[in-house]
Amino acid sequence: MELVCPAGNLASLKGAVKAGANAVYLGFRDATNARNFEGLNFSETDIRTGIAHAHQQGCRVFLALNTYPQPANWALWQRAVDQAAELGFDALIAADIGVLDYAANQYPELPLHLSVQGSATSYEALRFYQRAFGIRRAVLPRVLSAAQVKHVIANSPVEIEVFGFGSLCVMVEGRCILSSYAAGKSPNTHGCCSPAASVQWLETPRGLETRLGEVLVNRVGPGEHPAYPTLCKGRYEVGGNTYYAIEEPSSLNTLDLLPELAAAGVSAIKIEGRQRSPAYVRQVTAVWRAAIDACKRDPENYRPRADWQQALGRVSEGQQTTLGAYARPWQ
């Protein structure tokens, strides 16, 4: 299985490569990528430097062009595809059918991967994307159980990549516009969930409050660690109780499932976190490199090491992890 790791900047890219990534994925500094945060992403100079560095170490570089163009700014996505082909990326990760169509027709030699934002959860959908646009790989949404992933792979005409570690989202991937209601921007239209310009941190007599726009997302007391405010992972008063009413801060961690995923035919494990620090990228990549190598050597006797789990736990949201939708014992 290929290990695909995030790179929010050049330091993260170099850290991932050094720690053993087989591929890294990154984005431009604009709305064409779903992690369009201030201070993140790559200039053209950094992209050229990063691709050269990665290729020298035998690591591939993918471009995440995974948001949805709006009627007034199609040219931005068109130009991004042109740049991807000119800069020498090893694959383009896209979701919008217009972007896929443009890339397939203008640059037929540029490998296309269907983004998780495309939200394709069946092999019938994958067959459509393969016939229409010639995609070579698809990233499955994080809503399928392990049994469903196995069923899709058994009938898929293309390679399958799944998320192995990182933040989760309760929304249908590629369809969330929740932060637009509070901040005017969403990850799928502007490339940014909870844009920094709309985030407020306020010390109050009742505790540290985090707000997105005018919406109170959370309030934490002494000793609690405030998370970055996203509407889906806030604490709200419902029925007289205040709690994480939509989703608790938690990270997906599938180390326990590696042999099962390998046996199912998963082609690549993806790590989430382009918005995270270079230290996070290095640490998580090193753990997953060791785990995948151990699983490959002896899948029948593979067991996640305690120090691996501890290292991942320290960088998890809310310092807790879950198997997410993979674990559905009732299926």
Does 112 score more than 90 pLDDT? yes
pLDDT band at 171; cut points 50, 70, 90: low
Contact 99, 77 (CB under 8 A): yes
Does 261 score more than 90 pLDDT? yes
Share the mean pLDDT of the chain. Answer: 92
DSSP 3-state of 130 = helix
pLDDT of residue 196: 84
139 DSSP β-pair partners:
161
Does 317 score more than 80 pLDDT? no
Contact 24, 6 (CB under 8 A): yes
Does 97 score more than 80 pLDDT? yes
Kindly list the domain boundaries of the chain, sorted by start residue: 2-168+250-326, 180-243
Does 318 score more than 70 pLDDT? no
With a CB cutoff of 8 Å and minimum separation 6, the contacts of 257 are 146, 323, 326
- Burial grade of 99 (CB within 10 A; 0-12, 13-18, 19 or more): buried
pLDDT band at 173; cut points 50, 70, 90: confident
Q: CATH topology for 2-168+250-326? A: TIM Barrel (3.20.20)
Rounded distance between C-alpha atoms, residue 152 and residue 122, angstroms: 6
> Rg for the chain (alpha carbons), in Å?
20
pLDDT of residue 331: 64
Instruction: Tell how many helices (H) and how many strands (E) occur in the chain.
Output: 10, 15
pLDDT of residue 58: 98
The pTM of the full predicted model, rounded to 2 decimals, is 0.91
Strands 241-243 and 236-238: antiparallel
With a CB cutoff of 8 Å and minimum separation 6, the contacts of 285 are 3, 5, 15, 16, 19, 20, 21, 271
